[in-house]
Amino acid sequence: MPEERIRSARACMPCRRIKTRCMLRTGESRCQRCTRKSLDCVFREHQRGRRPGTRFSKDNATASVTRSPSQSPVAPYPPHEPTSTAAVAASTAAATPGPSQISHSRQQVLDAPGWETGPLQPSGLLDHAMSRGRFSLRNILSTTDPAVPDRGADPFSSLPSADPVQRGLLSLSAASSLFNSFMANLNPYISQLDPQLHTLAYVRHKSPFLVSAILAVAARVFNPPLHERLLSYAEDLLVDGFRRGRKSTETAQAVVILTYWKTPDDDRAWISLGYAVRMGMELGWHRLTRYAGSSAAGSPMTEMQKLEVRNRERTWHVLFVYDRSMSLQTGKPWIIERSDFTESVEAWCKDPLAAPGDCLLGAFVVLRLLTSEVFKLLGDRPTKGGSGRLYPLESLLAVIKGRIEEWEAKWIKAASQESCHQFLIHFYGAHLRLQLFSLPLQEVLSRKEQDLFLNFEAFWTSYSSALEMLHLLCRFSSCIHLAQDSVHVMTAYCVTFLIKILSVPSSITAQIEPEIGDAIRGAAQALRQHPVLPGTSCALQAEFLDRIIARYFVRKGEQAHAQSTPVARKEQPGHMHKLPSDGGVSLMRDWTIAATSMPGPAVFFDDDDFGGLDAIFGEGALWGGAATESVPPAQEGGFYT
């Protein structure tokens, strides 16, 4: 006679989490399903009905949940096989770690040694909640044991009430279309999300703020009528999250995503970046240790848990690149210091679970590690008229140039075949060469005899790099209309630089002028190849390029007419080879007016909005104001700036 089967009064944790019957044979300590699937048959008391003010401690749970005296304390359980209920519940349940797995996954972040985190420091003596994003007086002065979350309850059994689809902002089909468009077309530019992990269902359950930010950004390009509504809702969630002090990987990602493709009047990129970086530090990301291979055999984590760990690490890499890029762009100090974790990014990119965009992200982490220290090595900027610094600078730049070329060749081979990855690596390499090799030119301008072409190598490298950037816009024209705002910032910078070198009198200006004019016009035409709405980044950039080149030639004609009179020739002999007696200030001012005085809608930065170019162009009086005033608005910030 077969043994009698009975139904347990209390379901075990693996059966409870999928809400299935828990059948137990008489005399057995493991239910039928756990025996068949080799699961750990662990039981835990429900927390419902407990007295107010009491918490369910780990010790009580361990003492009361076992059916057998030999049962070990609450142990993590492997993921169950997907059932017909919901694929989301099955896949995300596997990502819910047990206590020991949580300890293992957090160890890389929380156990990094350091003087400031020693056992006698505040972070060592006080509650560890201080270092896990819960820095409040109540947590520090807490006298009760921390509550253990019920790992048996399915955290994705219902959608959050703030979900934009649930709120009726758009239909599920529209949300699915926008989300898929973002992942396929926009995410490759920023390498922020992992297509294997970030599905629409996963993100909707994890963070209404993140899914709202994704949908708002995607709607700007693919469904403009929905953009304003979704962006307003995402901004509301941002304010609410800040007010409530919400901190998570998804919140940091949402904050940063909203800065990649901004509205024309949004100038909060620097502030938003600082908020996201502080959030990451609050969560302990700044203490991530050197990458050791999360996919190594013997790891207690499931594949889904490893993907979530990489998601956190990827976000910190993104913030590192963004932080260093904004520092180079604005001249402000960076926040995130280099560490063993960032320096091990090449090994991190080769992990078997690496996302398609991780290679591009790794390339730019390496680039920022390579070049962000250059300005520190140079020390303080020399004063006007200083000397003796040019040759050491040239030697350093020669080494850096070789490293940049090696970097570009290496990562082009390793990058994805998607055209945007090829474009971004070439474009940012050319931009960095332009930025660095403009430094010797600014040193030349600080001398009494100002001739940019005395240092011909620096001039030619910066000039050819600027032209290469414009030619890349034409070559990869299909990528421009989707590119993040930082591409347009750098385009404006290189065009302004080219106009500046034309504005300084020289014997070879006439030889390079036609090529510069053709390159600028070609870039403007490339920006218009795809239909763009008024007020978008491409529309503003194309208008800016047309204006700056048109005004340059108009002003040049006026200057030529004025200098063609006998009086002008008598007063300015040899004007093609010498600057005016004021050192070129008046001439630079004339070209500034020519580049910025076109009537019409304002499309220029104020000084405070783009003051970082001062670090590139050197003395403001010598270069004039065009470098800081002739940049399209709303383009401050960006990912790989």
pLDDT in tens, 144-178: 555 544 444 444 557 899 999 999 999 999 999 99
Block residue for tokens 């965009």: 357
Structural domain ending residue among the three candidates 14, 36, 67: 67
Tokens for 197? 């992990």
User: Are 329 and 614 in contact, with CB atoms under 8 Å apart?
Assistant: no
Would you call 1 exposed, middle or buried from its count of C-beta atoms within 10 A (0-12, 13-18, 19+)? exposed
Residue 188 three-state SS: helix
| Phi, psi torsion values for 161, nearest 5 degrees | -65, -20
- What is the chain's mean pLDDT, rounded? 75
Contact 612, 329 (CB under 8 A): yes
Among residues 176, 157, 173, 248, the alpha carbon closest in space to that of 214 is found at 176
- Give the model's pLDDT for residue 363: 96
Last residue of a domain, one of 19, 49, 67: 67
Q: Could you tell me the CA-to-CA distances from 267 to 223, 261, 476, 516, 634 in Å, in that order? A: 23, 12, 28, 30, 6
* Whether residue 535 has pLDDT greater than 70: yes
pLDDT reported for residue 416 = 73
Residue 538 domain-assigned?
yes
Residue finishing a domain among 67, 90, 125: 67
* pLDDT at residue 63, as a whole number: 38
Integer Cα distance of 627 and 546 in angstroms:
16
Q: Among the ranges 12-26, 69-83, 204-218, 534-548, which has the highest mean pLDDT value?
A: 204-218
- Residue 519 in domain: yes
In a domain, 638, yes or no: no
Question: What confidence tens digit (pLDDT) does each residue in 340-393 have?
Answer: 999 999 999 999 999 999 999 999 999 999 887 777 776 555 555 455 455 567
DSSP three-state, residue 7: strand
Strand partners, 23: 7
Q: Which two tokens stand for residue 44?
A: 């835990």
| Residue 608 CB-density burial (10 A; 0-12 exposed, 13-18 middle, 19+ buried) | exposed
Q: Which pair of tokens denotes residue 214?
A: 């994704």
Higher pLDDT, 602 or 255: 255
- C-alpha distance from residue 371 to each of 213, 325, 403, 568 (Å): 32, 10, 9, 47
What is the pLDDT, as a whole number, of residue 557? 81
* Dist CA 52 CA 223 (whole Å): 49
CA 507 vs. chain centroid, Å, equals 43
- Whole-number pLDDT of residue 389: 53
Look up residue 271 and give its two tokens.
Answer: 């502030």
What are residue 67's DSSP bridge partners? Answer: none
425 in a structural domain: yes
Give the per-residue pLDDT at 329.
83
Classify residue 378 as left (phi > 0), alpha (psi -120 to 50) or beta.
Answer: alpha
Three-class secondary structure of residue 9 per DSSP: coil
Q: How many CA atoms lie within 13 A of 194 on its CB side?
A: 22
DSSP characters for 210-262? Answer: HHHHHHHHHHHHH-HHHHHHHHHHHHHHHHHHHHHT---HHHHHHHHHHHHS-
Tokens representing 407 are: 């970097």
Task: Please tell me the least confidently modeled range out of 96-105, 393-402, 480-489, 612-621.
Answer: 612-621
* Backbone conformation region of residue 30, classed left if phi is above 0, alpha if psi is from -120 to 50, else beta: beta
Handedness of CA 376, 378, 379, 383 (dihedral sign): negative
C-alpha Rg value of the chain to the nearest Å: 30
E strand or H helix at 24 = strand 23-25
Which residue carries 């749970």 as its tokens?
61
The secondary structure element, H or E, covering residue 395 is helix 390-414
Query: 537: closest CA among 606, 443, 473, 597?
Result: 473
pLDDT value of residue 234: 98
Is 56 a domain residue?
A: yes
For 289-299, how does the pLDDT look when each residue is reduced to its tens digit (9 = 90+)? 999 875 555 66
Question: Is residue 414 assigned to a domain?
Answer: yes
| Cα gap 469→186, rounded to integer Å | 21
The residue type at 324: R
pLDDT, one tens digit per residue, over 498-533 is: 998 887 766 777 889 999 999 999 999 999 887 777
Mean pLDDT confidence for 429-438:
93
In sequence order, what are the residues at sequence separation of 6 or more whose Cβ sits closer than 8 angstroms to the Cβ of residue 391? none
In the chain, the percentage of residues whose pLDDT exceeds 90 is: 42
Q: Cα–Cα distance between 243 and 64 in angstroms, integer?
A: 40
**Parent domain of 49:** 1-67
CA distance 368 to 373: 8
**7, 22 contact by CB (below 8 A):** yes
430 lies in some domain: yes
CB atoms within 10 A of CB 91: 17
Domain-located, residue 514: yes
| Alpha carbons 42 and 12: distance in angstroms, whole number | 6
Is it the case that residue 14 has pLDDT exceeding 60? yes
Q: How far is CA 387 from the centre of its chain?
A: 39
What pLDDT shows up at residue 533?
Answer: 72
Q: CA-to-CA distance for 381 and 17, rounded, in angstroms?
A: 63
Average pLDDT over residues 11-19: 83
For 41-75, how does the pLDDT look when each residue is reduced to its tens digit (9 = 90+)? Answer: 887 776 665 555 555 444 444 433 333 333 433 33
**pLDDT winner (highest mean) among 78-82, 103-107, 440-444:** 440-444
If one compares 62 and 449, the residue with the highest pLDDT of the two is: 449
Closest CA to 490 of 604, 640, 279, 348: 640
3-state SS class at 6: strand
Higher pLDDT, 434 or 120: 434
For residue 386, CA distances in Å to 18, 392, 453, 573 come to 74, 14, 18, 28
Q: Rounded to whole angstroms, how far apart are CA atoms 240 and 236?
A: 6
Give the count of domains, the chain.
2
Other Cβ atoms less than 10 A from the Cβ of 601: the count is 10
What is the C-alpha to C-alpha distance for residues 419 and 139, in angstroms, rounded to an integer? 50
